[in-house]
Structure 1
Amino acid sequence: MMSELLQMMKGKTQSDQAQVNYAKMGEFAGTYFNYTTEFLGPNSWIIDSGATAHMCANLKLMNRLKPYIAESSVALPDGTKKHVTHCGSVTLSPDVTLKAVLYMPSFKCNLLSVSKLSSLSHITILFSSDHCVMQDQRTKRTIAVGRLVGNLYVLDDFSFNQDVIKKYSLNKDIECCLNARINDVDLWHKRLGHTPVLVLRHANVISDNACELGVCSVCPLAKQQRLPFLSSETYSENVFNLIHVDIWGPYNQFSVSGCTYMLTVVDDCSRATWVFLMKHKSQTVTLLENFYQMVLTQFDRKIKTVRTDNGLEFVSEKCQLFLQNHGILHHKTCVYSPQQNGVVERKHKHLLQVARALMFQACLPSQFWTEAILTATYIINRLPTSVFWKTPYEVLYNRSVDYSMVRTFGCLAFATNVLPQKSKFTKRAYRCVFVGYAFGQKGYKLYDLDDKVLFVSRDVVFHEGIFPYKNTPDSSNEFPFPVAVRDEDSTSNQTTSVPIHDSAPINSVDSPHHSSLHNFNPLPEDNSSVPVLRRSSRQGTKPCWMNDFVCSSSHDVDGSPKVASITPSHYAVMTVISTLQEPKSYLEANNSPEWRLAMQVEINALEANQTWEITPLPPDKMPIGCRWVFKLKLKADGSIDRYKARLVAKGYNQIEGIDYNESFSPVAKSVTVRLFFAIAAASNWHIHQMDVNNAFLHGYLEEEIYMSPPDGYCLPPGHVCRLKRSLYGLKQASRQWNQEFTTQIVAFGFIQSKHDYCLFTKKSGDSFLVLLLYVDDILVAGTSAELITEVKNYLDRVFTIKDLGVAKYFLGLEVARSPQGIVVTQTKYIKDIVTDTGLANARDATTPLPPGIKFTGSAGAKLPHPDVYRLLIGRLLYLNFTRPDTSYACQQLSQYLQILANNI
């Protein structure tokens, strides 16, 4: 058989029949096939799963030919070798290109290697009984179909015909989709989510030579991004030609001076920085006016251009008028483009980095953040910048910086007491913390650790390795209260602490406290004569933020009030309240005739309602117990309204499946209540309220429950009370009452809602009624007052109700009606929460949660009473009914009901 094959390769055959039909088979490269070169033609390819490389005998089919340098011959199965002269590629179709194809002139056929094709492309070949399919692995698209010629699969010119491909496609639905306008770039661009053409080419859904995509109107709307912000390489030639201005804040921590904002000014030429502390943004324009005058006076220059963002304080009419009057150009950034004012934005970052380092180093309380910012500004102005590698101080004043006065922020310092001494043993220095450099004075800013005051002194001894607050526990939260300013400009011998809110220039718009570059030198130039400093005789006033603190009192708060100072009516009320006591047990209540009468009234009501029947206890039953609960009902003036005794079953002794099966009872949803009031207000309906007396006693029991007789209720021996109706304390009491109410109200013509089982509606002619039930509280609203009265009369006959008239107070909701609508509030509920938590005298908060607060979870000490926290969260959740602004705070705090720590 092998010899026969070799003869066919040489153009010889054993019979003429093979010239017309198929040649007989031989073995070549592990494949059995019938073959005649004349029949297949020079462009046909034999698909060979055993060939290790593509082999071609037709030079006209090959592209990119280059001499073959490697092993120059291929061994055949009979042991002979064929010489390889070149290597190149062959394009079978726009989708199939064979690479690394060997050209052998003496070879008589073309072989396509399956392994080489799969490894060098995303093409796979699937074989069947009469044909094979060449398919793209990624798109599952059929590329070509091979025919079975004898026993071998062959690719020829018909293999890539689209009609043939459609006939033999493996998945005609996929092929139909993929082949539709295959070269339509716009179509594929839309199909695949407006994918770029380059990606489409890599996905092989369009050909490499497909035309480029035209203008797509959708892509800019969906994908357009901001242009990159190129770094500026231009700088102002002269100082104050251009200044960058911005506001930082508000910070969530008030400084010792009450400031929360800072106005930052940066000169573009020198990078000199000025920081002005502010309490309010409204001070901005005044500070800019003062800064302009300072530049004009101190540097004999005029500001030419100001660059800011679009803050309201900069685009206000007052600011624009100031700039126009002085001929100053105002450059504003584009909306949401802070990068255009990047000089001052980066300066804020630099200032905060240095200030944080100073605060962490000194461990100062956070209230001193403004002092750290001012000190950071002082330091940065005296350090070289990357613009000229000179310090801003040098550029402005044309002289080098003297670092001899610089000291470590937050270190221990002792300031000399220069006041006339009362005694020879009076302390000669104040123990202080260094908190910065004074502006306009040749001295250091210090904070007295003993007197809790800020002051400036020139006679200071520093201990730069000691930080007083570093060893103070939890110094970050410590507020050195109060903070004041020591004024030593008076000849008075008395020490007076003036609050910083009234006297410190930080809060003065006319002389703002700021850090600048002026000639500061805390070391005296001449020590020969030191003038005696005087002390101020001005009296300090209490700062406004201390108005809600009781700092002193003219009365003795430790002693008890005198009886003579109390009015008779007040004394009578106090006497009644102090003597009122509710019994804790039956034995205690039985000693009072009032409580005995109250118990008898309750028993009579239960018997009249046929709540139980007296019967012997069956031997296989276990009775549940009961107990008395006593409550005093008081009037608004504190006097006694009535004595209330209620018999309560011990439902915790009930056994599920025997004494009860289900205990769930629906109540009106909060959204239903809101909608009820909204529709009633919009339709101007009448709203009335009712309360059912002893609601739980109206439900009928389905289970067989026996109860021991209550204390004071005499029964024959071995007899108990078999409950026919529900009783307070039973697990199913609420459910049975709800079922009984539903039965009775539906019988009156109401329809129960399928979305809220406690919502009932009734239509009678042109009138419409809506009834809402929440346990035993009822709201009814509608267009007809007469129908509302009929509902009241019917419910009173069935259950005995208390008519409360027009709705005013429902489930803690205060309802007020006006011509404009209905107002629903929870004022009393809020006051009760505030009172119960001991926060009645606390200051109001601007937001439910402090801005920027971060919860740490379980870190910190555990709460001593976690149940109190959970109870408070539950009460706040109910407050969301009328205060949706607290919803986010409640949601955040509710995440820690199981992980309770002091610093959540």
Structure 2
Amino acid sequence: MAERQFNTKLKRVQSDWGGEFRTLAPFLSSLGIIHQRSCPHTSEQNGIVERRHRHVVETGLTLLAHSNTPQRFWDFAFETAVYLINRMPSRTNSNKSPFECLFHRPPDYSFLRVFGCECFPYLRPYNPHKMDFRSTSCVFLGYSLIHHGYRCLDLQTDRIYIARHVRFNEHIFPFNPPDTATLPADSSPYYSSYPTPPPPNCEPSFVPFPITEPVNQPVTEPVQQTASVPITDPLPDPNSCSSVSTDPPNSVEPSSFTVANKSPEWRKAMAEEFDALVRNGTWSLVPCAKNTNVIDSKWVYRIKRDANGNVTRYKARLVAKGFNQKPGIDYQETFSPVVKATTIRVLLSLAVTNQWSLRQLDVQNAFLHGELKETVYLRQPRGFIDASKPDHVCLLHKSLYGLKQAPRAWFERLTNTLHHLGFTGSKTDPSLFILNNGGTLVYVLIYVDDIIVTGNNINAINNVIANLGTSFAVKDLGDLHYFLGIEVIRHGSNLILSQQKYISDLIQKAGLSDCKAVPSPMSTSQILSSNDSPTLADPTRYRQIVGALQYASLSRPDITFAVNKVCQYMHTPTENHWSAVKRILRYLKGTSHFGLFIRHGSGSTLHAFTEVNWNSTLRAFSDADWAGCPDDRRSTGGFAIYLGSNLISWNARKQRTVSRSSTESEYKAMADTVAELTWLEALLQELGIVSTVTPTLWCDNLGATYLSANPVFHARTKHVECDYHFVREKVSKGKLQVKFISTHDQLADVFTKPLPTQRFLMLRSKLQVVPRPQLAGG
């Protein structure tokens, strides 16, 4: 940069003994530049740079602290610090700034703004519709490195706009609590950047540290320096593309009470919630006693949407700040069970097979029905303070969202109600309740305030719903169609579980809406390891996307192995790992309309299903990839379990210990599969489903198959932990059959390793993952 911009030949480069500089030695040597390094642990030999580094760090941290900006934006603060330091006059430079010393002219200070303040970039070119807003509230994060504009962070979408035309409110800091972000009465809040001339073309943003853009960044049309169109840039990964939301007004969830209170829809939602709390007798106003722990609260806003993404309700919820509760005083026990995804699929499979009715209920303000055993005080909610008793506090009688004990209190209340109606709680899954009365079966499945009811008697189902309605504000949503973000689609006598809306939103959030689809979620040529490429500067985006992909795998077993693989690098993800995540998203882009098919009928194309009473028969496939991890040589095991022809349980997981042979790794995988089979048998027994056919486990390793029935190869396998040998115990008691299956027919192969495209597609169809168009016509 110095040679290009100032026609000055570099002769010597001084640095410390850092390993990151050693790779520069061949490059500098080829140019004839002497690379002089300070002695190890002798920082004073590089004192000027060390002092400048300290100046940058202290200034950057001050910017973060002043605006209360989270530390994950430290890189923007430090870049802004360098930008400001280069324009600050110094006595050592005769009261001139480094910029003026370099360019022989004073810098333009009218371009400077307060870091972390509220700003409003001009977005009309990206929002061409006349009903769209011209701008949106953002946070100022400094100055662009490659454009003559400002960085503006949209807190609603987590995207950065780089815009030239921006209005600033330099007294408001969005990351500050609302009470501290006040505006002086005598101040003029808004400053416009419109008349400010752009900096000269020859002016570098950061003199000491020239920044080079990543070479793999997607390149678009060249940006004109006079353009006023804001440029979107995703946060924090620079390799993703982004898009500007064009949702109608009030379709974005507000992040604070101040913003929500400006909208009539959200004001109505808050009033409805407050009225419900009062009608429920949630609290009573009492004087605030001394030395009392009073918990604060906040409003949380959510937009309820249907499976197509249409807005169905604006929901405001008052949430207690439970993190201020003191254990042993404000709460005791907090555990509350959560329904297992496998239980849901088992219940749906039974309902489809027997053609039972599937009903869906929603308990309004569910947590408010829980009764508290402790004495808890809450400040009056913002916007609804009693004018006659402003100093009083709320003594809680009922539970409230956000309290540590709220989930447990609600579950105990609902459990007691169901027991009173004759239900029995399941021992295998505490969220499942069973009513078995003289051949009448009714099942109730609970996930917080969402309830599924099914059974073999429609009148009994209606009676249960009516009885629940007498105790709670229950909304009967009719036939099951949307549960936990999963769309339940009826096709004749069959069902398909789809997360198309969820996957589409995830792809858009990752900035890959315009990406090219790929036929498989993982390439056979890509081997992931811990140190295969440079680590990501900010792993936040990686962790968010991978966590969301885990939820998508609830109805998509075809991505389970790939998601499990990228989950192993959550601690320190690298660029190569991020590429693997993007490939999964690209695969989902082309298959977002796929879902898990739950079949009714007696037909099956699976090798294992030949018995007459296959509908209630458990069949399992187990496989392992021996020493597949290049970092620790641990194996990956996986299984797929079917009830009849319907896939109900699957898993892919790296084994906890290293295996010394393929037989050992396969045997460990078998043990995990048998544990799941044992649990499923107990669940089906509680549901009243009994099969006369012994469950069968299919394995493609002869050694592991022989070992399950006979103590062969004992000398080479005696070091295997004893708990794995319960497989042999199951076989010896006649409770399990272990059979050999060829590798070509091994369905669990898709859960242990990346596969060629044709084999992956074949196994995907065996997993009953199919697109909606293929369901047309049966």
TM-score range, shorter chain: 0.3 to 0.5
Q: Which has the larger radius of gyration?
A: 1
Please, what TM-score do these two structures have when normalized by structure 1? Answer: 0.35
RCO higher in structure (CA 8 A, sep ≥6): 2
Please, what TM-score do these two structures have when normalized by structure 2? Answer: 0.40
